Amino acid sequence: MIRFENVGLRYGMGPEVLSDLTFEIAPQSFQFLTGPSGAGKTSLLRLLFMSLKPTRGLINLFGRDTSRIAPAELPKLRRRIGIVFQDFRLLDHLTTYENVALPYRVQGWDEANYRADVIDLLKWVGLGDRTHVYPPILSGGEKQRAAIARALITKPEVLLADEPTGNVDPPLARRLLRLFLEMNRLGTAVVVATHDIALMDLVDSRRMVLVDGRMEIYE
């Protein structure tokens, strides 16, 4: 589904922040991406989301060489990927419900076809009573859950989550982890970038560890 071959990344004229990354992400797989602060986790997620281009090597996504994908094709391919950014990126002028429904709205779906799913998912992430609230009023943890719901609503083939439990207490972190595992069980490949060792220890799953820009994989 996703394959990296000898991928390297540098910003501008700086040093390589990622070097010789060769790995695969299989359909329906679950993995953590970890490593010390500054190791390159966010940069790697940005490569996976095609918001950055590698400076060398090959990235194959859904059977396509990403260096040959025209910018006009990117939105359609990105719809197959759900992403939770570290800074949430919710739209402040839309309610929680509208933010989560946004992927459907931009595709022109009729609200009757998704309304119940959005409400159900909001309840699942514990935001059932915050549906009509605007993001500036939400707490950090609530924003995080809204961002997660927005990434999951269209049941993407791949979910990329950058520190998705960074702003929540341990019981809620475990609940969000269960949600990711449930999505994974339903067929979504999941990559969770995290520093949280206690969280990773709850699941016996693959760990991709970045150290000094290189990756070690523990299956």
Q: Which residues bind ligand ATP (CB under 6 A)?
A: 11, 14, 17, 35, 37-43
Cβ neighbours of 61 (radius 10 Å): 21
- How far is the C-alpha of 214 from the C-alpha of 156, rounded, in Å? 28
Q: What is the DSSP string of 162-187?
A: ESTTTTS-HHHHHHHHHHHHHHHHTT
Pick the closer one to ligand ATP by CB: 11 or 218.
11
**From the CB of 176, what's the least distance to ligand ATP, in Å?**
18
Pick the closer one to ligand ATP by CB: 86 or 154.
86
* CA-CA-CA-CA dihedral for 78, 182, 145, 200, to nearest 10: -100
**From the CB of 118, what's the least distance to ligand ATP, in Å?**
29
Pick the closer one to ligand ATP by CB: 9 or 158.
9
Tokens of 210: 């970045």
**From the CB of 198, what's the least distance to ligand ATP, in Å?**
16
**From the CB of 187, what's the least distance to ligand ATP, in Å?**
27
CA distances from 123 to 12, 92, 97, 145 (A): 44, 20, 11, 10
Pick the closer one to ligand ATP by CB: 79 or 195.
195
